[in-house]
Amino acid sequence: MSSHGHETDLRIPEIRLGPKAASVERIAGVVGGLGLLLCVAGFFQNRTQFFQSYLFAFIYWGGFAIGGLGLLLLNNVVGGKWGVTTRRYLEAAMRTLPLIALFAVGLIFGLKDLYAWSHPDLVAANAYLSHKQGYLNIPFFIVRVVIYFAIWLFWGMRVNRLADQQDSTGDVGIPERMRAFSAPGLLIFVLTTTFAYIDWVLSADTQFYSTVFGGMILIGNVMQTFALTILTLILTSRGDRFGGRINSKILHDLGNLLFAFVIFWTYLSVSQLIIIWPANLPQELVWYSDRTAGVWKALAYVVGLSMFAIPFLALLSQGRKRDPRRLIRVCIWLLVAHAIDVFWLVEPTFRSTSVSTPLHNNTGFALYWTDFAAFLGLGGIWVYVYLGQLRRRPLLPLRDPRVSPALPKEVIA
């Protein structure tokens, strides 16, 4: 180490994505392009129906970028080798924020189709909407979207630049600078994402109130991002490409953290329910009655089982968390389960038989072909960009002292 506190030797080999990832990237791009073409057709066929589907896809796929930023800031504050091992994957997810900002522009064009508060006549006729008019109006909504993404991009790109500086200089003081910068950023991140999810999802309902709602969606998105990160990390480290650095101990730690996110999501979800249900407030119970009527009720049971009961039991097993094949299955399960959860959270507002919002269709549970088109369109493009970002840099930080030295061979296959 030099007198200036810089490490001059390259400690970690430059390990990058293999050729198989390029094939997945191309397939994702094709699927995304075809999905977007179908979205255009859906827009002209039924604009309102299309934007309902678009909101669902936007919340799910945008959650990976937002969750990536949150996990990066969290690790910089609390430390831990899990963050160094997964940093490149989280950074790649975070660097898709400009794409999510572009998707948000599409959401703005659908305000009239999604939110009753965007219609002056409905606001004038409804006491709840009139009360919220100072906050829920089109100009202020757009301003807040710009502020949210400006804040997220500022903190994300600054952390990204510090990571690049560490790779190039080996400056031992950079982790402390990351921590000092990320600590206030984490607080601001939680506040802004809470407001963002209230704006994008909760405000579509005329009268439902919940202080837990934004945090509940945020933790769900953090959990899905971490599940994707573990999945990608295992797949890209097969054949001992990381020199034993991705081993059963590291996977066990990652599995434990994923387990913690499952518990936290469950805590927030149950907290909202047990606070609202005994209070017996009609304006809040309607939100739950929309989601426990007909097929929506069956879907509510699916969400409870797939988001909590099954992954909880699966991740109790020490052996499953240490076994890459079995841990991958849990991650895939959670990715699918959270897509169902987001659908259950977003769509009943528009597809119920109650009178909770003036823009619903009174049909009850419904699946539209645009739900799949928007999900595949936005998802394919996001995966394409994510893999492109992941390809740009080595898969392990080059000069972070917390990266373990090469260990005896333990093949991840």
What is the rounded radius of gyration, in angstroms, for the C-alpha atoms of the chain?
A: 22
> Which tokens is 161 given?
């630049």
Question: pLDDT (tens digit, 9 = 90+) per residue, 339-396?
Answer: 999 999 999 988 876 655 556 665 678 899 999 999 999 999 999 999 999 998 888 8
In whole numbers, what is the pLDDT of the chain averaged over residues?
89
Question: pLDDT (tens digit, 9 = 90+) per residue, 76-110?
Answer: 998 877 888 899 999 999 999 999 999 999 999 99
Which pLDDT score is estimated for 371? 96
* Residue 270, C-beta contacts closer than 8 angstroms, at least 6 positions apart: none
Q: Average pLDDT of 38-66?
A: 96
Which pLDDT score is estimated for 359? 63
Which pLDDT score is estimated for 109? 95
Res. 10 pLDDT band, cuts 50 70 90: very low
Which pLDDT score is estimated for 294? 86
Distance CA 150, CA 105 (A): 14
Residue 7 has pLDDT above 60, yes or no: no
Q: Where are the domains of the chain?
A: 46-366
Res. 275 pLDDT band, cuts 50 70 90: confident
Q: What is the dihedral of CA 247, 338, 146, 142, to 10 degrees?
A: 180
Residue 33 has pLDDT above 90, yes or no: yes
Beta bridge partners of 412: 238
Question: pLDDT (tens digit, 9 = 90+) per residue, 243-254?
Answer: 777 888 889 999
Q: Average pLDDT of 205-233?
A: 92
Q: Average pLDDT of 248-270?
A: 94
Which pLDDT score is estimated for 63? 97
Which pLDDT score is estimated for 405? 62
- Indicate the pTM of the whole model: 0.93
Give Cα separations from 107 to 56, 69, 114, 285, 397 (angstroms).
11, 21, 9, 28, 36
Which pLDDT score is estimated for 407? 54
Contact 397, 403 (CB under 8 A): yes
Which pLDDT score is estimated for 2? 40
Residue 409 has pLDDT above 60, yes or no: no
Which pLDDT score is estimated for 126? 86
Residue 167 has pLDDT above 90, yes or no: no
Distance CA 276, CA 291 (A): 14
Distance CA 134, CA 143 (A): 13
